[in-house]
Structure 1
């Protein structure tokens, strides 16, 4: 880990990035808020996926554009990833759920948030619905894990994502009353289509559900989508519509 200062501000032409750290369960988590010219409090929380190379910067290409339209966000690295402290192999889904809730405590409290989750981050976004009551969920290549996997360490013990009917993500999603937006990859080699079908089926109280299938895209959507100008802009427009609710 390369520690970052407790507060570091970087200004670009249309956005302001504030790097900082916060504590959760004894770990120091590296985070960034991304705001536009007005620097409003963030009401978007972005959650990255699983893996040693996952960082809070993977969705910056989307968050920067949202900030230019007046929507501020917070993105952070779970313990054991990027600049955060901790060991990846000792992390668990339950620990990361607690870290998600800690990060959400730094959002604008005047309105329900929008949560953007990728892969494992989508599982966590859905799992925290009962506490966070988001007005919107935007899930990229969402994963689900079974109930018994919550405390399995990331040392090779964690089961592969698949369609798990008993997933706590599905159970929590049944309470969701906001707008659900899912981006699925047609060539996803990690999470089968049945996972997305499960999200759709369990979002029975959602105000709306939209599923966007990305042709030619594999599981690592944030490596692929930035290079697809038209599709990237369509994704931004869909996210803007979600945020407008």
Structure 2
């Protein structure tokens, strides 16, 4: 169930609007394809998962810029809005971690059906809450490689439980209608356990000045995944300088392309 509009950016890299259904709701995204022949097995690819209250562009366009860089290196990518976020259908009040894991699984099914893409080399990258979702989804979707950018832990949302109690209904989180079910579920998730049980190739990338998701969280993910943690010097949660972004892109691309 796909419906794509094709377009080319200024570098000649193919970019296609992508959509698929989950639970009767439409999920919208952008598929980036490398130029040129795909070879006998097809291009490798990576699915990008955005963070809490984010979208498929992410902060300072970090997702589309990285997708275009990867396409120039022969790696396709899909960046999409989770249901209830960005332009996808659904309401944010319905958003839960388990729903985002379902969206991730549907995205893998979508990518594994694409012509000229290798169904065995679909990778996964999650940023912030997307990193938590990626860790939980990995045992199910079996990515070829797993990359986490500044991954969140359930501790991030504990301050929202005033006095340790769940809100009775929807919480107004800066204009976002945050559902009670999300807070009830996210604090009970065990992303580190899921990461420890996965066993595939992984790498964690974390700013060493991150005050939203402390770098110690990245180290804990790396320990669970038995992989390296790459520190981005001076970087906060969203890697807010050109130098930091360049380093993040370079090191992540090296990992995803097996260099």
Bucket of the pairwise TM-score, normalised by the shorter protein: 0.7 to 0.9
* Match of residue 257 from structure 2: 244
- Following superposition, the deviation at residue 134 of structure 1 comes to 1.8
Q: SS of 1:128's equivalent?
A: helix
C-alpha displacement of 1:27: 1.1
2:223 to 201, 208, 221: 201
- Answer yes or no: is the 8 Å Cα contact 1:112–1:133 preserved in 2: no
Deviations 1:49-102 (A, max 9, x none): 011xx2112311111001001100111100111110111121111111101100
Q: Provide the aligned C-alpha RMSD in A.
A: 2.7
The residue number in structure 2 matching 1:90 is 94
Task: Give distance in 1, aligned partners of 2:75 and 2:26.
Answer: 26
- Could you tell me how far apart the structure 1 residues matched to 2:26 and 2:230 are? 35
Once structures 1 and 2 are overlaid, which stretch shifts more, 104-113 or 179-188?
104-113
Q: Does 1:139 align with 2:139?
A: no
Which residue in 2 is equivalent to 1:7?
4
Aligned pairs, number: 223
Q: How far did 1:167 drift?
A: 4.1
Q: Displacement, 1:42?
A: 5.6
Unaligned runs of 5+ in 1: none
Question: Counterparts of 1:128 and 1:34 in 2: how far apart (Å)?
Answer: 22
Deviation at 1:112, TM superposition (A): 3.7
What residue number does 1:217 align with?
A: 235
CA distance in 1, matches of 2:245, 2:178: 34
- Of 26, 41, 47, which residue of structure 2 is paired with 1:28? 26
* Bigger radius of gyration among the two: 2
Matched residue, 2:137: 128
Picking from 35, 42, 45, the partner of 1:43 is 45
CA contact (8 A) 1:114 1:137 kept: yes
* Structure showing the higher helix proportion among its residues: 2
CA distance in 1, matches of 2:234, 2:254: 24
Deviates more, 1:73-82 or 1:126-135: 126-135
The 2-side partners of 1:124 and 1:42 are apart by 21
Give the CA deviation at 1:39.
Answer: 7.0
Residues 156 and 179 of structure 1: is their aligned pair in 2 closer, same or farther, counting only changes over 3 Å? same
- Contact kept? 1:34, 1:72, Cα under 8 Å: yes
Counterpart secondary structure, 1:95? helix
Contact 1:35–1:42 under 8 Å retained in 2: no
